[in-house]
Amino acid sequence: MESAPLPRPGAAPRAPFGRRSCAVTANRGSGGYRVFSLLDREGPEPAAGQFYMLASAERWTARGGRAYLPRAISVAETGPAAGGVRLDFLVDDVGPGTERLCQLEQGEEVWVTGPLGNAFGEPTEVAGDGAAGAILVGGGVGVAPLALLRRRFAARGVAHRVLLGFRDRAHTGGLDLFCGSSGALCPEVRLTTEDGHAGVQGRVTDLLLPILAGDDATSGVVYSCGFSSASSSPSQPSSSVWSG
């Protein structure tokens, strides 16, 4: 069976030259992670799948005064805001740089370069009898770019499903990014956790392969981020895999 064609990279807005300063407007907990928001007064609204290089304007140095390298963080949500564009980032404290980003307070400034990278492409052959459609598969903080992609697919009426996987309670976050206006998780979202504290116990790929096999998909696109791609599995020959 022939594979569905892989979508080409979507139109990616160009980043302004050089770095610029953006103000922190919010920082909240999201499960075991943090979501902080910046106000970008100069840059364009990013596309789903793009990322930014981030460094706090203050206290961005290790002992001895040596500055950390900027951290590459995917944008999880964006939209118009008074005076510019709002950028939301999902972060896990896994080292000194991300620890500092998790500690950001409203009113602080962050050096920003971006948006960078390619955008997720639009699926072109995901309709018809037996089609698996667009399947968004993410793990850990890698769910972030899929949140923005899901919202944009929903706005354009693109058929999609979302499979999210997490290790344990301490490494589960960002689910509120996939909630509707009622605050409930969107119905197209399914969840796995390795420790079984939420959703189905297991790995996110445990949900992916049965979906493809059960649909007997003649077309489908898997958009993945944040876990080892399942594209090498012989159980899904009819689907392309788009990794972020």
Task: For residue range 73-116, list pLDDT tens digits in order.
Answer: 999 999 999 999 999 999 999 999 999 999 999 999 999 999 99
Structure tokens at 169: 């309670």
Contact 5, 240 (CB under 8 A): yes
Contact 110, 22 (CB under 8 A): yes
Can you give the pTM of this predicted structure?
0.85
CA pair distance 134, 123, nearest whole angstrom? 7
Q: What value does the mean pLDDT take over residues 39-57?
A: 96
Q: In the chain, where do the E strands start and end?
A: 20-30, 33-40, 51-56, 71-81, 84-91, 109-116, 133-139, 160-166, 189-193, 200-201, 220-225, 240-243
Q: Is the pLDDT of residue 236 over 50?
A: no
- State residue 237's pLDDT score: 31
Contact 208, 182 (CB under 8 A): no
Highest mean pLDDT among 43-57, 122-136, 182-196, 230-244: 43-57
In single-letter form, the type of residue at position 16 comes to: P
Q: What value does the mean pLDDT take over residues 213-241?
A: 56
- State residue 115's pLDDT score: 96
What percentage of the chain exceeds 70 in pLDDT?
Answer: 82
Closest CA relative to residue 151, chosen from 83, 71, 79:
79
CA pair distance 79, 45, nearest whole angstrom? 7
Q: What are phi and psi of 142, to 5 degrees?
A: -70, -5
Angle 134-136-137 from CA coordinates, rounded to 5°: 140
pLDDT band at residue 23 using 50, 70 and 90 as cut-offs = very high
- State residue 44's pLDDT score: 94
- What count of Cα atoms within 13 Å lies in the side-chain half-sphere of residue 168? 2
Q: Is the pLDDT of residue 213 over 50?
A: yes
Q: What value does the mean pLDDT take over residues 163-171?
A: 90
pLDDT band at residue 141 using 50, 70 and 90 as cut-offs = very high
- State residue 110's pLDDT score: 98
CA pair distance 226, 71, nearest whole angstrom? 16
